[in-house]
Copies of this chain bind each other. A is one copy, B any other.
Amino acid sequence: MITLLAEIISVGTELLMGEIIDSNAAFLAQELKNRGVFMHWKTTVGDNLARLQEAIERALSRSDLVILGGGLGPTDDDLTREAILTSIGEEAVVDEAYLAKLRAWFEARGRSFPEQNIKQAWVSSSARAIPNPVGTAPGWFVRVPNSSKIIVAMPGPPREMKRMWAEQVLPRLELPQSGFYFKTFRTVGIGESHLAERLGDLAQLENPSIGTYARRDGVHVRVAASAATLEAAQALAESSEIAVQAKLEGFIYGTDEQTLPEMILEQLRSRSQSLGIIESISGGIMSDELTNAKGSSEAFFGGTVAYAAQAKLKLGVNPEILEQHGAISPQTTAALAQIARSSFGADWGLACTGAADNSFGDSMPAGTLFVAIATPDNQILEFKSVVAGDRRTMKERAAFNALGTLWRAMKT
């Protein structure tokens, strides 16, 4: 099995200066890992020719595949092509056919072609322009002369980079048949340490290996295996996958890229049921997450954020309940779940309330969370737990805790 080493260079003063966060590098690292390509270095460098060239040369000295992101625009600040050419000792030539395409693109939009854009049609003996499926800046695919090394340059905007990577770069890379296999199980309702206890000796395995990762939506468990071929790796992982599923029964809501809101919506749609929610401490994140999924309105009828006590009263919570038990209590939460169900005309009602800080007395420390569910047969289920972290983290954890509680209630 060949081991390929890759290295990422992100180009741009804005990135270096922290004005934007570099999500491209994270995406590429994940993509490479999933194909069994190892990455040891990631460098960020500003729009400076000498430093960019230094970074490329160092990368070529220690890695097989160098991926550059950014610096492919038409302006004087865009120096990625220039730096690559100096590093490999070649000169730019204008690809007239590509230039004609660029000119046509502008013409079709009724715009005059800015002459500085000519450099976007540059190629060289070793460098080929690769089309940008969603923008004007083409990428570059470079077979480094007198070596088996490759340089790939892609545009900075994530939407352009991701499409170019999938449609243009991956096919050209002809990566060796990957002998790496991964499967991620996504769980809710169980903390990392309890999960580790359940996994027991499984966590000691080396190949396949089993790793746990605390994420904002719950703990993820990843089974990884390597062998000569993907099929062999998958076969190697199989018994561990079965063991993980058995030990975590009832906690796994999905695998790989399946999100909790998507799985809840799928459950609802498959039963022709619907959901209404009222959230307090999570402050809108549950609705936000549910509506990120396309077609969510079929099953998610609506949500209300009732942050102030006054809002809970206005929604119709019995004033006596509020008076006697308080705005943050199992009783108020149960009442809100019922109202969530009835006010949106939904089959399921979900509500949460909680203490975002310590202003509610000793009996209710910051992070106290109440979740209630009104079921289609109008039963009320009540849950209590604690979420930790700063204000924002608590809001997120409360949202995913409540959604996870609903998912588990629907499955039982």
Q: Which of A's residues lie within 8 Å of B, judged by CB?
A: 15-23, 25-30, 33, 39-46, 48, 51, 159, 213, 276, 283-292, 294, 296-298, 300-311, 314-315, 343-345, 357, 390-392, 395
Contact = CB atoms under 8 A, between A and B. Distances in A.
A26 B300 CA distance: 36
Contacts of A33: 17-18
A296 B308 CA distance: 8
A359 to B, nearest CB: 10
Residue from the set A26, A30, A44 with the largest chain B CB neighbour count within 10 Å:
A44
B294 A283 contact: no
A51 B7 CA distance: 13
B284 A305 contact: yes
A391 B51 CA distance: 37
B302 A308 contact: yes
B287 A345 contact: no
Contacts of A23: 21
B43 A30 contact: no
Contacts of A303: 284, 304-305
Q: Name the 9 nearest CB pairs between A and B, nearest first.
A: A284-B287, A283-B291, A18-B29, A302-B311, A18-B26, A284-B288, A42-B44, A287-B305, A284-B284
A68 B33 CA distance: 24
Given A19-B213, A213-B19, A303-B304, A41 B51 contact: yes
Given A26-B18, A30-B19, A41-B44, A311 B305 contact: no
A305 B308 contact: no
Nearest to A310: B301
A314 B42 contact: no
A19 B215 CA distance: 10
A109 to B, nearest CB: 14
A330 to B, nearest CB: 20
Nearest to A307: B297
A290 to B, nearest CB: 8
Contacts of A392: 292
Contacts of A345: 310, 314
Nearest to A300: B307
Given A16-B39, A18-B25, A291-B307, A301 B283 contact: no
Given A41-B45, A305-B305, 16 more contacts: A16-B41, A17-B29, A19-B30, A20-B26, A41-B44, A42-B43, A42-B44, A42-B45, A284-B288, A285-B288, A287-B305, A292-B391, A300-B308, A302-B308, A302-B314, A314-B345
